[in-house]
Amino acid sequence: MGSALAFVAADAGSKVQLIGTPVDKDVIDACLREGRHPAMDEAYPAGTGFSYCDGWKEAVEGCDFVIAAVSSFGVEWFMEEILCSLSPAIPVLSAAKGLICKEDGALLSYPAHWQEELAANGVSRDIYALGGPGTAPCIRRKDHTMVALCGPDPEVLLMMKGALSTDYFHISLTRDIEGLEMAVAIKNAYALGISMALGHERSRDAGSGKECFNSQAAVFYQASREMNRLLELHSAGQLSRHIGSGDLFVTVTGARTRQIGLLLGEGKSYSEAVEILGGITLESVVIVHRLQEYLRIKEERGEMDGKDFPFLRYIIRVLDGDKVGELPWKEFEMEEL
Amino acid sequence: MGSALAFVAADAGSKVQLIGTPVDKDVIDACLREGRHPAMDEAYPAGTGFSYCDGWKEAVEGCDFVIAAVSSFGVEWFMEEILCSLSPAIPVLSAAKGLICKEDGALLSYPAHWQEELAANGVSRDIYALGGPGTAPCIRRKDHTMVALCGPDPEVLLMMKGALSTDYFHISLTRDIEGLEMAVAIKNAYALGISMALGHERSRDAGSGKECFNSQAAVFYQASREMNRLLELHSAGQLSRHIGSGDLFVTVTGARTRQIGLLLGEGKSYSEAVEILGGITLESVVIVHRLQEYLRIKEERGEMDGKDFPFLRYIIRVLDGDKVGELPWKEFEMEEL
């Protein structure tokens, strides 16, 4: 996603400096040598600069803002190595998607988590975030993409929007940070579940070659319902909810989460599925575990009823090693009488 | 859909009598001769009865309830020929999807429209309705399907649920008739728009053979947002909104509306598209015209601002004969600051 945003920013007329994490040394080597990422066909736009991680301080000097495009696995590293030393005068925009579950069951977005930890170290800064339905390959092909930027200061948001707006990259603005971050994180868990259900229905219906549209729609609807319940509990606004809905749609349709979900749904174990897919790490699995922790703590404290989330509980059971089996369809039925 | 529900009801242990409309004489001929619909491979379940339209009064004698599975084009016929003479003691369940736009711009579901017209003729009856994401072919293949039944009397709803519940047909119950009917009707208009956008992006990106996931998700998200605005204006409940979301998903993914939308998006005119598809009639086009009327009247009365519905206005323009062209992407951006 960091690379995709480098293309967007260049198209928007911004000058970009790409900085690798410590595991990206070979990538930066290749970039400096050939001007392109080893996994990409296309070179970065002319004018893109490249830096190794240990040169980050010089690289960010005089910049308008820093984009953090780390995965869930880089969140603590980014805080300790970068945020703790970065001048609070330089705004930070996070493109990382995920949540932290605190000991009391509170779910925090990465920006909120970072702010909290920084505050404990006496550093006060706001973190901005970008979320919405966009896969990196489609962004790079200039497919129209609608995202949102969130954060507290409208002026900073407008500055960031200006630096990233193009005729194919469309940016809404909101102050609802927790709502947006929650929506784009939890959609990964539910997209995994929808793909599992699809894999399961396909293998049940093997040989017909026909799609199971109704059951896909049914789990999409149940996912929307449970996502909305979680978002309501965290006072998310309308924009964030709809972004979550679009993001769920794209993740089910076209992202890597779909592949692992299909394999799990066909009855593969998690480790078999990961092996088949060549050992990729998945945000969706991280977020399921965080939501599992959240549900467990909230239920223990009597603050939530797991019965309200039958689909999420099914997803958790499958990742915990249960045979995929039939979905709890009857638990999805509702009576509003 | 009437035929699909006949299979469901038989699986639920109910006895079904299929009654043709006046245009279905040949279909009933074939059913009486061979026990199956001429357009279907499979015979109706054993025990299914068949009647011509003129024998409907005898056919419904002693039944628990009547299901009206007419298209938008049969709505007035069903009211005049059936509802005006049917004993109010026999409950009616509508599977018709659509809305009527009144002269003052009010949008009415078919059940509400029927009730109003019947009341003007001194007949008092409640109409129940069934809605949700389900294509008839998938229902007939026993793909898991989640729908909702709505209506005023919980006992009648539970009776209908009992008559149609199977291990693959899952029924929620709600009293939110207008919300549910509105959700499942307007999703047809937006599904048409999403498919148009997809057709347009595909032809723009011709030759790459790659899917435009981001733009699909972007229009899905914009559609969700506008649908929700319309549903809010009509005080729809949560269940209805989520059913609408699932129904939008299935209609975009697997229904006929997708085909005509793709053709329009590729730049075909409406009449060309209908010709290519063999002259099929489409609920989605009817509902776009009803919403067009609704927007026009509400704007004239100063009760609504069309700017809140840029995607709907785009869909209307294309059906009105405008070249398909670029979507109004920048009108989709929002600033909640």
* A145 vs B167, B218, B330: nearest CB: B218
Contact between residue B182 and residue B99 where contact means Cβ atoms under 8 Å apart: yes
Closest A-chain CA to B155:
A337
Is A170 close to B218, i.e. CB distance below 8 A?
yes
| Cβ contacts from A onto B, under 8 A | 226
Mean pLDDT of A284-297: 94
pLDDT score, position B270: 83
Amino acid letter for position B255: A
Mean pLDDT of A241-263: 85
Is A222 close to B146, i.e. CB distance below 8 A?
yes
Mean pLDDT of A121-150: 92
- pLDDT per residue over B50-71, tens digit each? 999 999 999 999 999 999 998 8
Contact between residue B93 and residue B65 where contact means Cβ atoms under 8 Å apart: yes
- pLDDT per residue over A66-122, tens digit each? 999 988 888 999 999 999 999 999 999 999 888 999 999 999 999 999 999 999 989
Is A221 close to B211, i.e. CB distance below 8 A?
no
The crossing angle, in degrees rounded to 10, of helices A177-204 and A310-319 is 70
Contact between residue A4 and residue A136 where contact means Cβ atoms under 8 Å apart: yes
- pLDDT per residue over B158-195, tens digit each? 999 999 999 999 999 999 999 999 999 999 999 999 99
Residues in chain A within 8 Å Cβ distance of B239: 225, 334, 336
pLDDT category at A207 given cuts 50, 70, 90 is low
pLDDT category at A279 given cuts 50, 70, 90 is low
Residues in chain A within 8 Å Cβ distance of B245: 220-221, 224, 245
Distance CA B10, CA B7 (A): 5
Asked if pLDDT for residue B204 goes beyond 90, the answer is no
Is A237 close to B336, i.e. CB distance below 8 A?
yes
What's the whole-model pTM score? 0.91
Dihedral sign, CA of B268, B273, B277, B282?
positive
Count of helix runs (H) and strand runs (E) in chain B: 15, 10
Q: Which residues contact A241 (CB under 8 A, 6 or more apart)?
A: A179, A183, A227, A228, A231
Closest A-chain CA to B330:
A170
B142: left (phi over 0), alpha (psi -120 to 50) or beta: left
**Two tokens at A34?**
């050939």
- pLDDT per residue over A29-66, tens digit each? 999 999 999 988 899 999 999 999 999 999 999 999 99
pLDDT category at B118 given cuts 50, 70, 90 is very high
Cβ-count burial B302-336 (b if 16+ within 10 Å, e if not): eebeeeebbbbbbbbebbeeeebeebebebbbbee
Mean pLDDT of B325-336: 91
Contact between residue A5 and residue A69 where contact means Cβ atoms under 8 Å apart: yes
pLDDT category at A203 given cuts 50, 70, 90 is confident
Complex confidence, ipTM: 0.90
Q: Report helix, strand or coil for B115.
A: helix
* A208 vs B141, B175, B330: nearest CB: B141
Contact between residue A312 and residue A193 where contact means Cβ atoms under 8 Å apart: yes
Contact between residue B282 and residue B260 where contact means Cβ atoms under 8 Å apart: yes
Mean pLDDT score of chain B: 91
Is B143 close to A205, i.e. CB distance below 8 A?
yes
Main-chain phi, psi angles of A70, to 5 degrees: -90, 160
Main-chain phi, psi angles of A100, to 5 degrees: -110, 135
Distance CA A212, CA A226 (A): 21
Is A333 close to B210, i.e. CB distance below 8 A?
no
pLDDT score, position A19: 96
